[in-house]
Amino acid sequence: MATLRGLRTTPQCFSRAIFHYSKGQKRFLCLSKQANSQLAFVSSEYNEIYKRSIEDPDKFWGELASTRLQWIKPFTEVMDCDMNVGKHRWFMDGLLNVSENCLDRHVNRSPESVALIWEKDEPGTHETVTYRELLKMTCQLANTLKNHGVKKGDRVCIYLPNCPLAVATMLACSRIGAAHNVVFAGFSAEALASRITDAGAEVVITADQGVRGGKTIDLKRTVDEAVSKCSGVRHVFVMSRTGADVPMGKKDISLEKAMSEESAECAVEPMNSEDMLFLLYTSGSTGKPKGIQHSQAGYLLYTNLTFQHVFGYEPGDIFSCVADIGWITGHSYVVYGPLSNGATSVLFESIPTYPDPGRYWETVQRLKINQFYGAPTAIRLLLKYEVDWVKKYDRSSLRVLGTVGEPINADAWHWYNEVVGEKRCTVVDTWWQTETGGIFIAPRPSADNSTPKPEFATRPFFGVEPVLLDSEGVELHGNNVSGNLCIRGSVPSMARTVYGDHRRYLETYYTTFPGYYFTGDGALRDKDGHYRITGRVDDVINISGHRLGTAEIEDALDNHPDVAESAVVGFPHDIKGEGIYAYVTLKEHALITPEDLRLQLKKLVKKEIGSFAAPEIIQVAPGLPKTRSGKIMRRILRKVAANEFEDLGDVSTLAEPSVVEGIVNEHKKLI
Ligand code: ATP
Ligand code: MG
């Protein structure tokens, strides 16, 4: 039986190493657990380390790469980057293998440490997988793929539920040098087919069915439909999740059966630092998803480092990121960050409200989770319910509460901090993107131990230099400024290209503001130099010359005790240029009439921001259109507000298309 603790052996230098500077001299220290955590999570030296990471990235990253990663052949040059042409090249000529870094080196030291705790959909049930077991599974899978013709550089499409075999599949690809393309196993056949085609994948790995929230999802049937549109697919491997009797065609192979015939050993493929590790499609909040391509060494190093220092991970901790592996958050903080550190990572297969809204906290109690990383959409959903759903479970193991994906409004932040964390935990609002590969802005690590500010992602991670530019591309210096959030200088984990469309990559990220990476988000730098993400730049509303971030107005609306969630968009207005249209959803037991609510909400916004920001139209919506990763799709709301129902753009990433019909109907009643 596996122990429920992580690595217990003496801390090893490669994963515990952190910079220590003294009198201008840089050196690595192997620190004791206690000293390490103090230095890492809250460090009086943060400012000094940060400064050096920006001034001398070559030294900073070079030393980290040689000590934290295991190389087959050392690199000869640290970086060759040019932001003018979107060029990022790190750790040149180096050879390594990502699966070896995530598995073998831990197995050699502590084979029975738990790598994964699979929190299954069925309430109260979990399974543990040790590093030894995960390596065996990975090798058998790697051999299976190899023996079915998968070679270095090939793309493999993964359409699986959150389960250990899915993680092993990702690692098996990296072991043999194939690139994985994980597609969230909730996407439609059409969305799946377009990703298989775009990636040119010849192999698809799926399951008979998935289970989420007690419902079964016919994954194999979706794959059959998708594959019928993709003539290039040669093999479909089918894992058994529920044991359902699914029809097997000529291309289909039982995954477990194929694996059982394979050896549990598989030599690793030496990969160049810059070879492709995976491609992953963005969430599609703003348009057609982009196939973001990531590298091997730079990505691995960055997720390895941020995992430890943003979350204050210490050996023995149980870390839980509840994202699906189909999103970048799952890639970086369920799989690569934790496993490269030898940590214990929880794989959450279910949803926050199954069987009831206490699911997360019951899991925290049962598994004794130390760091919990979730999304604002789930927090806003849970705060609709009685606090008892949280309070009845023991959450004393928790130290850090993370969030990612969207701006977290003040109301949700306080609920997370006070109700869930009992003001005892550190809330880390982490800003990053599929394209950045890892966390770029977060309250930790930091130089001070104070409670982070609500709504502020706060400060850049080592090596990340955020800049704010005005619409003309002029840099805004000093504090108390807001503008387009861009990044100066390369960071090892940044996307290398949009798969098969380098032009789109350059146009999207490097041409708007030459010399910088443009994030597409707006941000404010406050008097203390801390960053607050104000939303997508495209979502900024311009009312009679006032430029307003949607997050600010939504924040005011969310303060109303009956409002669960809100989304604000602009719509064409004859006099003001743009008017404000707010969509709000109500908490479970709200009794207020829509008329009273509208009056009270307008008053609230006038008081908190100013009368110019009061919404013209307020729709009490049946729900909000969201991507399958839970983000509000404001572009659809904008179209509805502008009466453009006919052309809603790419809706393939919409989680519940029926919501759109509901809001269109409500809209028609209002105008
Ligand atoms: P697409 O690029 O296809 O439109 P997307 O941008 O939603 O989709 P992701 O890469 O999953 O795809 O999301 C990154 C975006 O999520 C960021 O650009 C930002 O707008 C938002 N985001 C992520 N974390 C935060 C955060 N902590 N605070 C505010 N916004 C965040
Ligand atoms: Mg994006």
Look at residue 567 and give its three-state secondary structure: strand
pLDDT of residue 494: 98
In this structure, are residues 437 and 494 in contact, taking their beta carbons and an 8 Å threshold? yes
Residue 6 has pLDDT above 60, yes or no: no
From atom 16 of ligand 1, which residue's Cα is the shortest distance away? Answer: 405
Closest atom of ligand 1 to 290 CA is 3
pLDDT of residue 40: 67
Which of 434, 508, 518, 626 should be mutated for ligand 1, with most atoms under 8 A from CB? Answer: 434
Lining residues, ligand 1, CB within 6 Å: 282-287, 289, 328, 404-407, 429-434, 457, 519-521, 533, 536, 631
In this structure, are residues 310 and 461 in contact, taking their beta carbons and an 8 Å threshold? yes
Give the burial class of 468: count Cβ atoms within 10 A of its Cβ; 0-12 exposed, 13-18 middle, 19 or more buried.
buried
| CA-based torsion, 495, 498, 503, 508: positive or negative | negative
Cβ atoms < 10 Å from Cβ of 635: 20
Residue 297 has pLDDT above 50, yes or no: yes
Closest atom of ligand 1 to 430 CA is 27
CA angle 97, 103, 105 (to 5 degrees): 85
In this structure, are residues 530 and 459 in contact, taking their beta carbons and an 8 Å threshold? yes
pLDDT of residue 163: 98
Q: Find the ligand nearest to 635 CA.
A: 1
Helix axes 164-176, 131-147, angle to 10 degrees: 60
Query: What is the rounded distance in angstroms from the CA atom of residue 361 to the CA atom of residue 378?
Result: 13
Q: What is the chain's alpha carbon radius of gyration, rounded to the nearest angstrom? A: 24
pLDDT of residue 18: 44
In this structure, are residues 199 and 157 in contact, taking their beta carbons and an 8 Å threshold? yes
Q: 423: which 2 tokens?
A: 């003001």
Closest atom of ligand 1 to 403 CA is 27
Q: Find the ligand nearest to 288 CA.
A: 1
| CA-based torsion, 573, 579, 583, 587: positive or negative | negative
CB-based contacts of 593, cutoff 8 Å, min separation 6: none
From atom 29 of ligand 1, which residue's Cα is the shortest distance away? Answer: 407
Residue 247 has pLDDT above 90, yes or no: yes
Provide mean pLDDT across the span 254-274.
98
Cβ atoms < 10 Å from Cβ of 546: 14
In this structure, are residues 533 and 552 in contact, taking their beta carbons and an 8 Å threshold? no
Look at residue 665 and give its three-state secondary structure: helix
Closest atom of ligand 1 to 434 CA is 10
Closest atom of ligand 1 to 284 CA is 3
pLDDT of residue 9: 27
From atom 26 of ligand 1, which residue's Cα is the shortest distance away? Answer: 431
From atom 31 of ligand 1, which residue's Cα is the shortest distance away? Answer: 406
Distance 561 CA to ligand 1 centre (A): 27
Query: What is the rounded distance in angstroms from the CA atom of residue 239 to the CA atom of residue 164?
Result: 11
Q: What pLDDT, in 10s, does the model give residues 43-81?
A: 888 899 999 999 999 999 999 999 999 999 999 999 999
Provide mean pLDDT across the span 476-485.
97
Q: What pLDDT, in 10s, does the model give residues 129-150?
A: 999 999 999 999 999 999 999 9
Residue 22 has pLDDT above 60, yes or no: no
Q: What pLDDT, in 10s, does the model give residues 489-538?
A: 999 999 999 999 999 999 999 999 999 999 999 999 999 999 999 989 98
Provide mean pLDDT across the span 571-583.
88
Q: What pLDDT, in 10s, does the model give residues 304-340?
A: 999 999 999 999 999 999 999 999 999 999 999 999 9
Which of 521, 536, 635, 653 should be mutated for ligand 1, with most atoms under 8 A from CB? Answer: 521
ipTM for the whole complex: 0.99
Q: What pLDDT, in 10s, does the model give residues 120-131?
A: 999 999 999 999
Determine the straight-line distance between the first and last CA of the chain, rounded to whole angstroms. Answer: 64
Provide mean pLDDT across the span 176-180.
98
- Classify the phi-psi angles of 615: left when phi > 0, otherwise alpha if psi is within -120 to 50, otherwise beta: beta
From atom 27 of ligand 1, which residue's Cα is the shortest distance away? Answer: 431
Residue 11 has pLDDT above 50, yes or no: no
pLDDT of residue 59: 96
Distance 135 CA to ligand 2 centre (A): 33
Q: Find the ligand nearest to 292 CA.
A: 1
Query: What is the rounded distance in angstroms from the CA atom of residue 153 to the CA atom of residue 30?
Result: 37
Query: What is the rounded distance in angstroms from the CA atom of residue 170 to the CA atom of residue 161?
Result: 13
Q: What pLDDT, in 10s, does the model give residues 151-161?
A: 999 999 999 99
Closest atom of ligand 1 to 520 CA is 18
* Mean residue pLDDT across the chain: 91
pLDDT of residue 8: 29
From atom 30 of ligand 1, which residue's Cα is the shortest distance away? Answer: 406
Provide mean pLDDT across the span 177-195.
93
- E strands in 400-516: 400-403, 426-429, 441-442, 459-460, 465-469, 481-488, 497-498
Q: Where are the alpha helices (DSSP H) in 179-218?
A: 189-199
Backbone angles phi, psi at 482, to 5 degrees: -135, 150
Which three-class secondary structure string do you get for 341-380?
CCCEEEEECCCCCCCCCCHHHHHHHHHCCCEEEECHHHHH
